[in-house]
Amino acid sequence: MDYMLSEDLMAIRDICAEIAAKHIRPVRAQLDEENRFPREIMGVLAQSDLFTIYIPEAYGGTGMGSLALCVATEELSRACGGIAVSYAANALGAMPILLFGTEEQKQKFLPPLASGEKLCAFALTESEAGSDAAGIKTRAVRDGDHYVLNGTKQWITNGGEAQIYTVIAMTDPTRGARGATAFIVEEGTPGFTYGKKEDKMGIRASSTRELVFEDCRVPAENLISREGMGFMVAMKTLDNSRPGVAAQAIGIAQGALDEALVYASGRRQFGQRIDSFQGIQFMLADMATSIEAARALTYSVARMIDAGKGRFEKESAMAKVFASDVAMKVTTDAVQILGGYGYMKEYPVEKMMRDAKITQIYEGTNQIQRTVIASALIRETAAGKR
């Protein structure tokens, strides 16, 4: 993998690997079992300046971009997908401000995110609006120099732990997707509370929680872009963030392959190490090949984003769908290689298999991603593009 990375990116990877070894692997099973948010580890990541990666220099960051964030997310996910997504979700939450925020909004909200003083979350999903993001019901009504929000957001990563939320609400339901608007809502705003904390199958070290808005008064200055732009803000945000999900999936898969290799080299059956059996060797070879292919695709898309030229929703969807499918296959095979031990919580591949599953679901299911890819292909063909 080193041939794909600059010295700065390798330094980020090495920092994350050291944090994973010292702070994540010793506690990942306990955090998973207790469904507990890794506040102490978030502090370590902040002290290591890892929250600065995706924030421009003008706002306290290092401005290293999407590829750097993917490298960090992948290496942290290699140890624990739940802890890694708690870190990466901050970039998702900040993305609407980065892409569409005013200079005043960026000056106010980005520096505390870069320092790790505050955490961020992105709130789009509702009980009746998952893949159908245009079906959100949360309302925002203008009242003088405020908007009044009412509704409930569901399955929000970093919910209850973040202090800054970017929220999509309907200002004009009669216009469908064109009636959605994006807002910045701070923790402690009157009328904003937290609901149910979810008890998840995987990524249990992350906090996934409901956000409840009951006559929540948000200053009009916290509107992102303008009324009616919320759907565009959300879609552009997800286009930029999906390589991060792909990186998470790659890290989980790589961690599972690492465990399978170690186990196969030490486990003996029929008087031989099981990594001497061709059936196991072929599984390991396929696992490694698919991971490397997913990594190359994801890094390529991240570089496209960092270049800032053209559209990349098709390629972003490709990276997410391919890498997450790889993660599910690789972790399942890792459990198979470990046999009965792989099915036990004593070994981490059981957790990795559970963690991998969500990467096929959130930030747009893989079925939706395939629709995005196909639509782009059809559009490009009609336009005569190659």
At 277, give phi and psi (nearest 5°): -85, 135
Q: Give me the long-range contacts of 23-29 (CB less than 8 A, separation at least 24).
A: 24/76, 24/79, 24/80, 24/83, 25/79, 25/80, 28/79, 28/80, 28/82, 28/83, 28/205, 28/348, 28/351, 29/345, 29/348, 29/351
Choice among 75, 186, 363, 380 that is catalytic: 363
Q: Which amino acid, residue 46?
A: A
Residues 6+ apart with CB under 8 A from 192: 149, 185, 211, 212, 213, 216
Q: What backbone phi and psi angles, to 5 degrees, belong to 109?
A: -100, -25
Scored b (16 or more CB within 10 A) or e, 288-324 reads bebbeebbebbbebbbbbeeeeeebbbbbbbbbbbbb
Contacts of 270 (CB under 8 A, 6+ apart): none
Q: Measured on CA atoms in the order 250, 252, 258, 261, is the torsion positive or negative?
A: negative
Token digits of residue 169: 């609400």
The gap between the terminal CA atoms of the chain, to the nearest Å, is: 30
H or E segment to which residue 214 belongs: strand 208-219
Give the position of tokens 């499918």.
325
Name every residue whose Cβ is closer than 8 Å to that of residue 309 and which is 6 or more positions away in sequence: none
Cα 234 versus chain centre, distance: 14
Give, in degrees to the nearest 5, the angle at Cα 227 between 225 and 230. 70
Q: Active-site residue 363, yes or no?
A: yes
Secondary structure element (H or E) that encloses residue 72, with its range: helix 65-77
Q: Are 305 and 312 in contact (CB under 8 A)?
A: yes
Active site residues: 363
